[in-house]
Structure formats: C-alpha cells, structure tokens
C-alpha cells in the first residue's frame, strides 16, 4: 500500500468510526479535486480568491516594504496551490531587484508540479524548491537558512480549515520556528452575511458539490469502497454559533459501505453526515488576539471593505 493510500486509509478508519463522522479536508485534493478547486476559485460566488488577489495587487509594495534590499529573501508559502496570488509578490520582488528563493509547500504533488512549471515559465531562472508536505510537517523547513530573511505566506483563508485549537497551536509553532524580526502574511476571511458565506461553498453551477462528492469517488478508487454517489448529497451549512461554514456529505438512505482495502464496513443511517471541511470566519479583534497569543507583533492589516477580508502582516 503506498503512502498516499495508507494516509487516506488511516484517516478513513479513524474518521468514520465515531458517532460524528469526518474526513480531513486535505483528502479532497487529488488530481481531480485540484482541477475542480481551480474551477471553484473562478466562480462568481467564491469571493475569497479574487478579493485576496486584489488586496495583494493593491498593497504589494507596502507588504514588501520591510524587505532589506541587501539581503536575499526566502518566500515560504504554506498551501501554495496554483500560486497565482504569490506571483504578484514575486513580480514585485524582481522589480525591487531583491534576490528571492521561493519554497511552495502543498499536500498535492500534482499542484506543485504545475506550479513549478508555471513559475519558471513566467520567471525563468527563479530559485524554486517545491516541498510536498502537510502544514505541520512543513514547519521544520522554516528553521533552515537562518542567513536569509523570511516571509511566510498562508493565504486563501486556509487557516480557517483548522479548528480554533489547532490554529492556535499552529501559529505558535510558526512563531517558534522563525527568527526574531521575520514576517508572516496570513489571509483571514471575516464574519459577514451568512448567505454570502454559504454561497461560496454551495455555488449554483454545482462545482463545489462535485468537489465534495469527489472524495467518495477517491475512496472507491483507492480504498475499494462501494459508495453509490446517487445516494449521497452535498450538504453545506453556516453554523452561526461557531461562525464557520461546514461542508458535509449526507447519506440519503440507510446503507452499509464496505472498504475492500481496509476490510472495514461502516453503517450509515438516512440523513447521517460526513464532515469534510471547516471554513472558520473571524473578527478583527479575534485576529489581533491570536497574533498576541502566538507571540507575533501586528504590523498591518490590509482589508477589503467590499468582502470583509483581511491579509494580516505579523512580525516575530
């Protein structure tokens, strides 16, 4: 059994054994999931990508104003994806004649291969070192090359996919793995009208639905499961108490799912759900508190008034 399959198998055994069933959102991303997410980012309802793109375009010079022109910069991106927003900063750094080394980190090898090809096509000769890893695994990478100044990017409101407890632990670990005076830029989606938030995870064209259901196709393919997709539906909600968008796959009938590769059966009642993604939304006061708890100094919040979104620049 290869590593990817064993990771998914282990997550399935753990996540589907409890009364509140769940699969970590990272398993939504395989080659098909990556392509579907590219479609999602272009949807009119999915405001997050274009809002952050506009913020970086308008504020690239201010974001990079701390960079010492006489010292090379290591740009480390967690959850790099297609890198379309990061290219705004790379373009600006080249214009500023700053020597830059780009370390995109992602769980998807397919996404990293595409990103590397795209970056080198646009910026020939750029030093790019893709790293396939999960966020927590990637933190060790931050310790290397202390002679370079560092900027860590965590964009797309990916931080909202963690529980609040996981997020606080993660931010502290980022802080502990950076040197004093180094920076992070994090995208936070702010609390706003529930209908605006929910539409981003339940688009009219049904692309997000296909993205979510693709997890079942992946488990059929990789784990020998027997999910009948006609007996499942995409069921996102916005939980106002948690201030989070939650994505679920809901069984429409009572059924038993068998996983051949795991020698494992799971019983589902009608209307029973599998939680596949969490997208936490934040207030500005929460963001400020999380920065302080993790040991960061707030430098500046770059805020979109149209869609209530913040790119927060913090310093160790």
pLDDT reading at 1 higher than 60: no
**181 falls within a domain:** yes
Q: Which domain holds residue 113?
A: 47-192+281-315
CATH of the domain at 172: 3.40.50.150
Alpha carbons within 13 angstroms on the beta-carbon side of residue 121 total 8
Three-state secondary structure string covering the chain: CCHHHHHHHHHHHHHCCCCCEECCHHHHCCHHHHHHHHHHHCCCCCHHHHHHHHHHHHHHHHHCCCCCCCCCEEEEEECCCCCCCHHHHHHHHHHCCCCEEEEEEECCHHHHHHHHHHHHHHCCCCEECCEECCHHHHHHHHHCCCCCEEEEEECCCHHHHCCHHHHHHHHHHHHHCCCCCCEEEEEEEECCCHHHHHHHCCCCCCHHHHHHHHHHHHHHHHHCECCCHHHEEECCEEECCCCEEEEEEEECCCEEEEEHHHCEEEEECCCCEEEEEEEECECHHHHHHHHHHHCCEEEEEEEECCCCEEEEEEEC
Share of the chain above pLDDT 70, in %: 96
Give the mean pLDDT of the chain: 92
Nearest Cα residue to 20 out of 268, 234, 228, 260: 268
pTM of the model: 0.91
Question: What spatial distance separates the first Cα and last Cα of the chain, rounded to whole Å?
Answer: 41
**233 falls within a domain:** no
**76 falls within a domain:** yes
In this predicted model, what pLDDT tens digit does every residue of 232-281 receive, in sequence order? 999 999 999 999 999 999 999 999 999 999 999 999 999 999 999 999 99
CB atoms within 10 A of CB 1: 12
pLDDT reading at 134 higher than 90: no
**127 falls within a domain:** yes
**7 falls within a domain:** no
**215 falls within a domain:** no
Q: Taking the C-alpha atoms of 272, 265, 211 and 155 in order, what is their torsion angle to the nearest 10 degrees?
A: 90
**125 falls within a domain:** yes
pLDDT band at 3 (very low <50, low <70, confident <90, very high): very low
pLDDT reading at 178 higher than 50: yes
Per the structure, the count of domains in the chain is: 1
Q: What is the mean pLDDT of residues 85-102?
A: 94
pLDDT band at 19 (very low <50, low <70, confident <90, very high): confident
pLDDT reading at 204 higher than 70: yes
The least confident of 20-24, 129-133, 218-222 is 129-133
pLDDT band at 24 (very low <50, low <70, confident <90, very high): very high
**119 falls within a domain:** yes
């Amino acid at each position: 059994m290869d590593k990817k399959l064993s990771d998914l198998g282990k997550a399935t055994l753990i996540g589907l054994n409890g009364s509140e069933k769940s699969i970590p959102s990272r398993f939504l991303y395989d080659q098909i999931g990556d392509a579907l997410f590219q479609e999602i980012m272009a949807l009119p309802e999915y405001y997050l990508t274009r809002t952050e793109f506009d913020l970086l375009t308008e504020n690239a010079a201010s974001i990079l104003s701390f960079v010492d022109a006489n010292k090379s910069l290591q740009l480390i991106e967690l959850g790099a994806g297609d890198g379309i927003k990061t290219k705004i900063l790379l373009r600006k750094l080249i214009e500023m004649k700053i020597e830059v080394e780009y370390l995109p980190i992602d769980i998807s090898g397919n996404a990293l291969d595409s990103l590397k090809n795209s970056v080198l096509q646009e910026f020939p000769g750029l030093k790019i070192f893709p790293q396939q890893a999960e966020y927590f695994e990637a933190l060790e990478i931050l310790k290397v090359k202390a002679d370079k100044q560092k900027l860590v990017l965590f964009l797309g409101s990916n931080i909202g996919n963690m529980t609040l407890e996981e997020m606080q632990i993660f931010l502290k670990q980022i802080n502990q793995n950076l040197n004093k005076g180094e920076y992070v830029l994090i995208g936070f989606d702010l609390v706003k009208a529930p209908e605006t938030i929910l539409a981003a995870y339940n688009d009219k064209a049904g692309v997000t639905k296909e993205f979510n259901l693709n997890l079942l196709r992946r488990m059929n393919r990789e784990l020998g499961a027997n999910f009948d997709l006609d007996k499942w539906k995409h069921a996102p909600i916005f939980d106002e108490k948690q201030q989070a968008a939650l994505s679920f796959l809901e069984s429409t009938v009572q059924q038993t799912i068998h996983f051949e590769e795991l020698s494992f059966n799971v019983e589902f009642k009608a209307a029973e759900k599998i939680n596949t993604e969490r997208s936490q939304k934040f207030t500005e006061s929460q963001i400020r508190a999380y920065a302080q708890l993790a040991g960061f100094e707030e430098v500046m919040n770059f805020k979109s008034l149209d869609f209530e979104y913040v790119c927060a620049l913090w310093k160790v």
